[in-house]
Amino acid sequence: MKRNEDLLNIDITNFQSSRFDMFSSIMTQELQNEIDHMIAEQKNYQNEILQLKKERDFLFQLLDKRQKEECKKMKKIKSKKENQIQSRKNKNFSFFNQVQISIQPKPNQNNIELDKNLICQITSKKEKKGRFTFSKDSMIQEIRKYQNPIFIRAASILERSKNGDSMVTFLVNTTGNALDSLDEEISSLKDEITKLKRKKRKIMFGSIETLTKAQTEEIKLRSALANSTKFYENMFDNF
């Protein structure tokens, strides 16, 4: 009878041990699954963070590239306009530059000072009505010294002029038209520069906004990764 009880106790002990081993195996497997899941989540978070960093670096490079392109474009436009203005100064408007135009003096000559750097000596004599006469040939001769199309055309037109008033009118109109043309080009250049500045600001603000969103998303992912790690650490400690 006692032997049967001992055998029964052994069977119960073996059964309990078997159940404990089974429970331990199940818990170990579940724990391993949780660990694998946590590692996979950590890898996903790390990959997303790396991807965000790559996108952020790409946006910085793109912004820097656009800024350099805008600077190069502005320099080209500025250089082109400066060359055009300088070319006009050297060619088209040499007659109006700060140079001294001189005609050999003749009897009854008057010196007329136009400004501090420009002195024009014109042979003239005062008439009774307060008007001045001058040598048309001398004026045309001075204009022909400049081999620029505008001066060649001016000399041809002035040569056919019948009086001094028409000659002065032509010169004033020619100068005025040239100055108006320059004013229009300067105004156009200012408008173009303003548009480029607005475009640059728009691109910059858009890039900054995108970078801010990327940085916010990165912070969220880092927080989620930290919380997940802390959660599993607490779970392992309690277990």
Question: pLDDT of 53-89, one tens digit each?
Answer: 777 777 777 777 777 777 777 777 777 766 666 665 5
Q: Which tokens go with 180?
A: 């108006």
| Residue 101 in this model has a pLDDT that exceeds 70 | no
What value does the CA radius of gyration of the chain take, rounded to a whole number of Å?
A: 46
96's CB contacts (< 8 A; 6+ apart) are 175
Domain coordinates in residue numbering, the chain: 2-64+204-238
Exposure string for 179-204, b = 16+ CB within 10 A, e = fewer: eeebeeeeeebeeeeeeeeeeeeeee
Least confident among 24-38, 45-59, 149-163: 24-38
- For residue 86, the model assigns a pLDDT of 61
pTM of the model: 0.33
| Residue 102 in this model has a pLDDT that exceeds 60 | no
Residue count (the chain): 239
Q: How confident is the model at residue 22 (pLDDT cuts 50, 70, 90)?
A: low
**DSSP state at residue 105:** -
- For residue 98, the model assigns a pLDDT of 37
Name the maximum alpha-carbon separation found in the chain: 166
Count of beta carbons in the 10 Å neighbourhood of residue 142: 17
Question: Helices in the chain by DSSP H: which ranges?
Answer: 2-90, 136-143, 149-159, 164-238
Span 148-200, pLDDT tens digits: 777 788 888 888 877 777 777 777 887 777 777 778 778 888 888 888 878 77
- For residue 131, the model assigns a pLDDT of 57
Cα angle at 173 between 168 and 177, to 5 degrees?
155
Q: Which tokens go with 27?
A: 């818990």
Q: Which tokens go with 237?
A: 């400690």
| Residue 103 in this model has a pLDDT that exceeds 50 | no
Q: How confident is the model at residue 95 (pLDDT cuts 50, 70, 90)?
A: very low
Q: How confident is the model at residue 224 (pLDDT cuts 50, 70, 90)?
A: confident
Sheet of strand 119-126: strand arrangement: 109-113, 119-126, 132-134
